[in-house]
Amino acid sequence: MTKTLLSIGHGFSARALSPHLLKQGWRVIGTTRKPEKAEKLEVEGVEPLLWPCDLRPYLEQATHVLTSAGPDEAGDPIMREARSAIVAAAPHLEWVGYLSTTGVYGDHDGGWVDEDSALDPATERGKRRVKAEREWLDIEGLPVHVFRLAGIYGPGRGPFAKLRRGVAQRVIKKNQIFSRIHVDDIAQVLLASINKPNPGRVYNVCDNDPQPPEVVIEYAAKLLGMEPPPAVPFEEAVMSPMARSFYSDSKRVRNDRIKDELGVDLKYPDFKSALHAMLDEEKS
C-alpha cells in the first residue's frame, strides 16, 4: 500500500520533508491558501490542495498527517474546521505530527529547558500553542507526535537573507539566548519519528548550540565579507510586534530526546557549520 502524507499548511518545514518521502514512493498532498504556491507544489511533485476545503476525503486516503498551521485568535484552524473528520480518520492513521514551538516554555532567563519543563508561555502566541497542542493530544486514538521547533532557518531564510536585504539588525539585550534549527534537520527528525512512531511523545527540535542573536548575525556578516549592522539596544530597535515578542523569551533548549530516542545525528549541530554549508551550496 502506498504511504500517503496529508500535509496541512505545507510550508517551509514540510517542503523540506516532502522530497525525502517522494523519493521513497510516497504520495504527498499539501494544502495552501495561495493559488500561485499551489503551482509550485505541483512542480515539486506534491498534490496541491487549496485551503479552506473539506479535508474528509483526503484524511480517508492518508496514512500520515503533518499539520504546520498555527493557531489564530479563535484557536487552531484545523481543529475548528476539521476536528470531526480527524476523529473519524484516527483508527487508520499511522502517524500524526503537530509542529509547535519552543515558545510554549516561556522565559527562563537564559536557563535550560527540556520536554518535561513546565509550560509557561510569556506571549499570547505561546499560550495559543499550548492550547492547540492539548487539543491534538486529547483526541482519543490519534497517534499524535508534537515537535517543538526552535528558531527555523535555511536557504532563503535566516541571517544571510536578512543581511543581503539590508534588514538585519544586531539587537543587544542582556542575557538573551535563542535556540535554532536548520530546516534540513527538522526534516530529518520528522523522518526518524515516522520510522519510529511513539504516539503522545513530545520532542524539542533544535541544535546543540544556543547563542545570543547578535553572535549569529556577526558571524554571518563575516562569512559574507560584510560589516555587521551597528549594535542597537533592544529598547531602541525598530521591530514588528511579532519580532519584538520573540525577545520576551530567553532560554536554552535541550535536544537529547531526538538523539537518544530517535537516533538523530544532526546534520548541522551548530549555526556555524550550517552557515558554512549554506554558502558552499550557493557557490556550487
pLDDT for res 242:
85
Fold topology of 4-151+183-206+253-267? Rossmann fold (3.40.50)
The C-alpha atoms of residue 40 and residue 136 are separated, in whole angstroms, by 29
pLDDT for res 284:
83
Q: Which tens digit of pLDDT belongs to each residue from 61-81?
A: 999 999 999 999 999 999 999
pLDDT for res 112:
98
- Would strands 170-172 and 27-32 be described as parallel, antiparallel, or unpaired? unpaired
Please, where are the H alpha helices in 44-158? 56-61, 77-89, 124-137
Residue 1 scores a pLDDT above 90: no
Q: Where are the domains positioned within the chain? A: 4-151+183-206+253-267
Q: Which tens digit of pLDDT belongs to each residue from 115-172?
A: 999 999 989 999 999 999 999 999 999 999 999 999 999 999 999 999 999 999 999 9
pLDDT for res 109:
95
pLDDT for res 179:
98
Contact 126, 103 (CB under 8 A): yes
Peptide bond into 52 cis (omega under 30): yes
Residue 34 scores a pLDDT above 90: yes
Q: Which tens digit of pLDDT belongs to each residue from 159-172?
A: 999 999 999 999 99
Residue 283 scores a pLDDT above 90: no
Written as nine digits, the cell of 133 is 497542542
Q: Which tens digit of pLDDT belongs to each residue from 220-250?
A: 999 999 999 999 999 999 888 888 888 999 9
167-194: string of b/e by CB count within 10 Å (b at 16+)?
ebbbbbbeebbbbbbbbbbbbbbbbbbb
Read off the amino acid at residue 22.
L
Average pLDDT, the chain: 96
CA within 13 Å, CB half, 102:
31
Determine the average pLDDT of the residues in 175-185: 97
| Residue written as grid cell 500500500 | 1
| Residue written as grid cell 522565559 | 107
Confidence category of residue 83, pLDDT binned at 50, 70, 90: very high
DSSP 203-239: EEE--S--B-HHHHHHHHHHHHT-PPPPEEEGGG---
Residue 195 scores a pLDDT above 90: yes
